[in-house]
Structure 1
Amino acid sequence: MAGVSKIFVAQLLGLPVFGPDGESIGRIRDLVAGLRVDGAPPRVLGIVVELATRRRIFVPMLRVAAIEPNAITLATGSVNLRHFHQRPNEVLVVGQLLDARVQVVASDARAVVVDTAMEPTRTRDWVLNRVAIRERTGGWGRRGPIQVLTWSEIRAPGITELTGQPQDAHQLIAVFDTMRAADVATALQDLPLKRRYEVADALDDERLADVIEELPEDDQKELLAHLDEERAADVLEAMDPDDAADLLAELSEMDKNRLLELMEPEESEPVKRLLEYSYDTAGGLMTPEPIVLTPDAPIAEALARVRNPDLTPALASMVFVCRPPTATPTGRYLGCVHIQRLLREPPFDLVAGAVDKELASLRPTDSLVAVTRYFATYNLVCAPVVDDEDHLLGAITVDDVLDHLLPDNWRDRDTADETFAAIETTGEARRRA
């Protein structure tokens, strides 16, 4: 999709949707967008695909690898086959936005939306930034010429009715959409419980997953318990596997097993592997989704992988080189390549020539103390976790180490300041001694 600058939605209807290996998935029937009240263009959340069985499912835009004139191709990964259900903050672009009555800001002329175009942003999001409208003159019956305007050039008074969402919650979502997930999590803690639930219901799965990861443990469990089982499983799938495992480990065995059953197998398997380790070991701290390449991959491919904006800076700092398979647990682990080395090498050289074979690896049973000492010794922000048979199991990032080193209540602003003050006092006393 890198070369696409603008796509009109009407051109997508009925296009076949294929998986990464060319297998037929279904046909596109609609797009789902999140409307906003702050004047910004709606963000395209995903597509509605109709399977051969007539079931309609939702596919997030991040799973769309390519949009061609005659087909849509999905990226690698499983497809959630649960029946699509529209949520309060969502609007069907074809089913609800097209034919909606709007006004042209410049002239106050009344018009009808006949099509809308989506455009990519620098953050890999797609937004509905262009609207094709037909003005109505002499009442709504007469048809005028079609013109294409930006979203900011029209006014849609019925925006709240289209989403079916209360105005107050919608205003909050519009504000939260511009904030970092950690800041949204902080703001949520100041809201009454009822409003907190309204916001959770309105956020899409990926955004809610990001926010839950930043909440204190008790708030995480509270929000997850509020969601119905199927949506809770969807949110867990959207979370980083290590964060999902940490959250599931705090639930009862019955609730944990039920949610794991509802998750797609491809999403639940890495979480189950992490649950086998204690939370304070390397195995419990690691993520099973680091960047893994085979030794015959070019440097250019490695650089393309670390540029993925969905990766944290720590996880993007290192590429791991292994024999196939590259999914964890991988084939034989050969070593790692630091991002600084990647930037210094010719792009068409192979990663095999840049591998650091001397860096020691962590074992999944290593304690939190051993992991902390490892990071301090080698001045790293990311480290490999390898089993006794030299299979790469995952990677630990320094932020996960800090999460477990800090007091349990460090995210809770009501008590964290007192805790940190006590830590500082203890540290000062040790220095004086």
Structure 2
Amino acid sequence: MPTVTRVFIARLAGLAVYDPNGEQVGRIRDVVARLRSGGRRPQVVGFIAEMPMRRQIFLPIGRVISVDPASIVLNSGVVNLRRFQQGPAELLVLAQLLDLRVTTPTGATVTVVDVAMESDRPDQWALGRVAVQELGGRLGRRGQLRQFDWEELTGLVEPTTIQGTESLLNVLEKMRPADLAHAVQELPPERKHAVAAALDDERLADMLEELPERQQVEILARLDHERAADVLEEMDADDAADLLAELPPHERALLLDLMAPEESAPVRALMKYLPNTAGAVMTSEPVILTPDATVADALARIREPHLSPAVAAQVFVTRSPVDTPTGRYLGAVHFQRLLREPPGDLLGGVLDNDIDPLDPQRPLAEITRRMATYNLVAMPVVDESDRLVGAVTVDDLLDHLLPRDWREQHE
């Protein structure tokens, strides 16, 4: 039995789905409703749930025994893992209704901000109340929030209705970049590009890094050149280099010229190396400190929230300068060693120099064998002058060893 008889669907986004034993089986990403004739309200037929490995599946409403704002519970832990495909008479509530401009009974134009699903008996849910917001005034103030019954509004299912992005962005902003990228991939093309255009540069850069290369290029091509260059500046240098390598030469050169020199320099450096070598896949901005820095200094650096776990797993120690290419490479300190040493000790006294660094032209196959042999999370890359130019992390390896279309594979 459902524990509530009305729930607004935007509040369900990201909600955990549990089996009867309390084991989580996925998270809600959208609600599927089927259009009905005779002016009847669309019937809720199920949920789109995201499972491990980001596979999106369909959960029929008949499998659900409890719906409330805290969780959704299924009647069994056995689910059909077939990937969801939208039918011709089906509506994705969050993806297709949020931000629609519709008309009220008085003729006013308003924007949909949420839709409620309502139940009068078990397993029977339909779309009911619609929360809308009046269009803002000249001073940019938000309009008043109001609610209407589904049948009172005109334009909810008309494909020509203008659709914005604000309410959908409010749902998406809570997602991790990888989940955001996957959710955006599922949107209709024009909706996808509208969302991408509405994201700020940093958030869009994070999302692009998680998309397949084909879709990265597609989204970047829809931005004006100045905006595209700004987004590339926000990306990690190695990801920006990979994306630029997919563009035509004239487009690549134009965007590099539009980027700030200090941002384009590491990208240009990475693009000089042969594909599938240490230089081509490495991260050019690992954590680097001098030997007179303390353990406490190193721990403070690796706590920075923007660092990925693989980059934050170790600190590389070099002579000044510490920007790549650095002074002479001395060694590395793993974060576990940092946790064991007194905070005031100098890095020069605790570093490990037993692992031979890579040269930039080292092939991926050899790097993979060495990292697997020594159980390494990252390896330093040095040039002929023993200067650190970057580091190959396990994330870098996986991105280049997996099939090019792995982000689009859901099975």
Distance (whole Å) between structure 2 residues aligned to residue 373 and residue 308 of structure 1: 30
Distance (whole Å) between structure 2 residues aligned to residue 297 and residue 349 of structure 1: 8
Does 1:199 pair with 2:218? no
Give the partner amino acid of 1:266: E
Distance (whole Å) between structure 2 residues aligned to residue 175 and residue 322 of structure 1: 44
Deviations 1:133-171 (A, max 9, x none): xxxxxxxxxxxxxxxxxxxxxxx976698399x874111
User: Residue in 1 aligned with 2:207?
Assistant: 211
1:341 to 300, 321, 337: 337
Instruction: Supply the RMSD in Å over aligned alpha carbons.
Output: 2.1
Q: 1:32-431 alignment to 2 at 5 Å?
A: 162=140, 168-413=164-409, 417=411
Higher relative contact order, structure no. (Cα contacts within 8 Å, ≥ 6 residues apart): 2
Q: Is the 8 A contact 1:246 1:279 kept in 2?
A: no
TM-score by length of 2: 0.61
Secondary structure, aligned partner of 1:222: helix
Q: Is the 8 A contact 2:277 2:361 kept in 1?
A: yes
User: Residue in 2 aligned with 1:103?
Assistant: none
Q: Is the 8 A contact 1:322 1:333 kept in 2?
A: yes
Unaligned runs of 5+ in 1: 1-36, 39-155, 418-433
Q: Is the 8 A contact 2:181 2:211 kept in 1?
A: yes
- Summarize the Cα distance change of 1:158–1:302 in structure 2 as closer, same or farther, 3 Å threshold: farther
User: Residue in 2 aligned with 1:21?
Assistant: none
In the alignment of these two chains, the number of paired residues is: 262
Deviates more, 1:393-402 or 1:267-276: 393-402
Distance (whole Å) between structure 1 residues aligned to residue 332 and residue 176 of structure 2: 31
Rg (Cα) greater in structure: 2
Distance (whole Å) between structure 1 residues aligned to residue 309 and residue 319 of structure 2: 25
Q: Is the 8 A contact 1:286 1:397 kept in 2?
A: yes
Deviation at 1:184, TM superposition (A): 1.0
Distance (whole Å) between structure 1 residues aligned to residue 403 and residue 200 of structure 2: 30
User: Residue in 1 aligned with 2:18?
Assistant: none
Deviations 1:94-117 (A, max 9, x none): xxxxxxxxxxxxxxxxxxxxxxxx
TM-score by length of 1: 0.58
Deviation at 1:389, TM superposition (A): 1.3
Distance (whole Å) between structure 2 residues aligned to residue 279 and residue 160 of structure 1: 54
Distance (whole Å) between structure 2 residues aligned to residue 163 and residue 204 of structure 1: 21
The runs of at least 4 consecutive aligned structure 1 residues that moved more than 2 Å come to 156-164
Q: Is the 8 A contact 1:337 1:355 kept in 2?
A: yes
Give the partner amino acid of 2:377: V
- Summarize the Cα distance change of 1:163–1:291 in structure 2 as closer, same or farther, 3 Å threshold: farther
Deviation at 1:278, TM superposition (A): 2.2
- Summarize the Cα distance change of 1:369–1:159 in structure 2 as closer, same or farther, 3 Å threshold: farther
Distance (whole Å) between structure 2 residues aligned to residue 160 and residue 224 of structure 1: 33
